[in-house]
Amino acid sequence: MRRAPSDAHHRSLRAGLIAALVGVSLVLSGCSSLFLPQSVTSTPTGESVSADLAPYYHQVLTWKSCDDGMQCATAKAPLDWSKPAGASISLALIRHRATNGHPLGSLLVNPGGPGASGVDFVKNSLTFAVDKTLESNYDIVGFDPRGVNHSSAIKCYTDPATFDTYIYGLPKGTIGSDQWINEVEQQNKAFGEACAKDTGALLGHVDTDSAARDLDLLRAALGDKKLDYLGYSYGTLLGQTYANLFPKKTGRLVLDGVVDPTVSPFELSADQAKGFELDLRAFLAECPKIKDCPFTGTVDQSMTSIRGLLDKLDRSPIRNSDGRMLGSQTMFTAIIYPLYNTTSWPYLVDLFNDVDNGSAKIAFSFADAYNDRNANGTYASNETEAFIAINCLDYPSDPNVSTMRTQEAQLDKLAPVFGHEMAWGGTSCFDWPYKPTRTAGALAAKGSAPIIVIGTTGDPATPYAMAQHVATLLQNGHLITYHGNGHTAYNKDTTPADQCVNTAVDAFFIHGTVPQSDPQCGA
């Protein structure tokens, strides 16, 4: 069963695409020093907290050399923040020291997901995470939220082949039929049971509210009186939640590719379906300029052709060399993967041409990259498991078949190409072992420091309207608009429009400068 393309993804997308196609590995970013001491320790803020929280807020982090010049550490957090005297969990961190030797403080970075590894993000893709100005002036800290990868992690299917069946398998029956819905729900129920068995109590405590409380603990243990934070995509929801819980502890927060905390799961799916279709239309408009573009008609004709291709794959899936079958939902994942970044659009030409030739090779390479699956069939991280587990706590799902069929019809009307692929969200958390804990609603963060909110007009995953709304919801939110396509805007490329975003963000982080008005970058 394919996971839905919720708000986020790795910002190292372009590099990931290249790796998927030609087998190259990501290049580690430069290090501030090649001769680091074996270990150094943090100096916690020592702030006053209750006795049961003191062991966490006052803990000393031991940084050890790792990954060619970076430093790694492990922090402890309460498993259950309502019972901090109980069991604890581990949180993994990695740090790249400020290259000027005089850091303004720690800048915590979250790449999104939910479920993406901030440790791997900083380790493998530092130059995608921040620009040289922030590298120079801040200690860049990547962290894996609770449940994710190197921290105390969600564990579900330990057999990659079983996991393959769950993600890529083709349930019997026509999509949306009673037979299909029943099989999908039973698959999701079995997956949840496996997660509960292999993960234990942690599965019920990977919600965003708990992760935001972890952020405050990390801030104090790092020795920072205020939190400086850069969150992408889902990381913006985490940042909003933190600011709402700890408004007086906010330093300089930047939220890029913004998730609206007020939307329902269906509204999120509808917004994303429309967003991905808008970007697909933008690609199709540019496609004739790309070598070997297979689309020769109008944009509307090409959109109809792509919907026809997806329907054809449901009737007659294409067998991959490893035996997996390419149906419409895996093809959908393969299509949206390059849509996250306009520089990756040429790879869509390769994808469509390959499928037109009866091959599933490129489609599965893209879907595998999206799902963090290695070429040998193993999985590089638990991103998919964490994505599902966190969302099942953050968003209530309605498994009522009548409701889902009504919503499917609405999605088909709103987004004729992709709406059908993003329906049936009510099956996602069917009979999940733990009930949702987050309630949709505004997060005003009353009394916070200024918060920068960045929205891209053609963002497919977190549509621009979300950034506009969040900037008004936050009591001290300030919108920066980037007129362009792709998911997120900061540190994307070196065009003048992109530098407009970088200039504003860097001025905010380094000097605390808040734009007097929206700079309308790229307009």
Q: Quote the pTM value.
A: 0.92
Greater model confidence, 38 or 284: 284
Q: Which of the following is catalytic: 448, 487, 498, 506?
A: 487
Assess whether pLDDT exceeds 90 at residue 35: no
Residue 3 confidence (pLDDT): 43
Residue 341 confidence (pLDDT): 84
**Can you read off the two tokens belonging to residue 377?**
């069939």
How far is 445 from 496, CA to CA, in rounded Å?
Answer: 32
Q: Which of the following is catalytic: 125, 152, 210, 233?
A: 233
Percentage of the residues of the chain whose pLDDT score is greater than 70:
92
Q: Which amino acid is at 309?
A: L
Lowest mean pLDDT among 117-126, 213-222, 497-506: 497-506
User: With bands split at pLDDT 50, 70 and 90, how would you rate the model's confidence at 38?
Assistant: low
**What are the angstrom distances between the C-alpha of 93 and each of 55, 63, 281?**
18, 9, 40
Residue 492 confidence (pLDDT): 81
Residue 7 confidence (pLDDT): 40
How far is 223 from 210, CA to CA, in rounded Å?
Answer: 20
Q: What angle do CA 96, 97, 100 make, to 5 degrees?
A: 135
Residue 28 confidence (pLDDT): 30
Chain centroid to CA 244: how far? 21
When pLDDT is averaged across residues 274-292 and rounded to a whole number, the result is 95
User: What is the DSSP track for 253-290?
Assistant: EEEESPPPTT--HHHHHHHHHHHHHHHHHHHHHHGGGS
When pLDDT is averaged across residues 292-299 and rounded to a whole number, the result is 96
Residue 494 confidence (pLDDT): 62
Assess whether pLDDT exceeds 50 at residue 315: yes
User: What is the DSSP track for 8-33?
Assistant: ---TTHHHHHHHHHH---PPPPP-S-
Task: Please give the mean pLDDT across all residues of the chain.
Answer: 91
487 is a catalytic site residue = yes
Percentage of the residues of the chain whose pLDDT score is greater than 90:
87
Query: What SS3 state is found at 191?
Result: helix
Residue 68 confidence (pLDDT): 79
459 is a catalytic site residue = yes
Tens-digit pLDDT profile for residues 4-29? 444 444 434 433 443 344 332 222 33
When pLDDT is averaged across residues 359-365 and rounded to a whole number, the result is 98
305 is a catalytic site residue = no
Residue 157 confidence (pLDDT): 93
Assess whether pLDDT exceeds 70 at residue 30: no
Residue 342 confidence (pLDDT): 85
When pLDDT is averaged across residues 259-274 and rounded to a whole number, the result is 94
Domain ranges for the chain: 13-24+156-201+263-370+397-427, 39-151+205-258+441-511
User: With bands split at pLDDT 50, 70 and 90, how would you rate the model's confidence at 370?
Assistant: very high
Nearest to 165 by CA among 142, 139, 188: 188
Residue 486 confidence (pLDDT): 87
When pLDDT is averaged across residues 436-441 and rounded to a whole number, the result is 94
Tens-digit pLDDT profile for residues 144-199? 999 999 999 999 998 999 999 999 999 998 999 999 999 999 999 999 999 999 99
How far is 97 from 71, CA to CA, in rounded Å?
Answer: 8
Assess whether pLDDT exceeds 80 at residue 491: yes
Residue 523 confidence (pLDDT): 81
Assess whether pLDDT exceeds 50 at residue 396: yes
The CATH number of the domain covering residues in 39-151+205-258+441-511 = 3.40.50.1820
Q: Which amino acid is at 491?
A: N
Q: Which of the following is catalytic: 144, 372, 459, 498?
A: 459
Nearest to 480 by CA among 253, 152, 167, 296: 253
**Can you read off the two tokens belonging to residue 386?**
């964490």
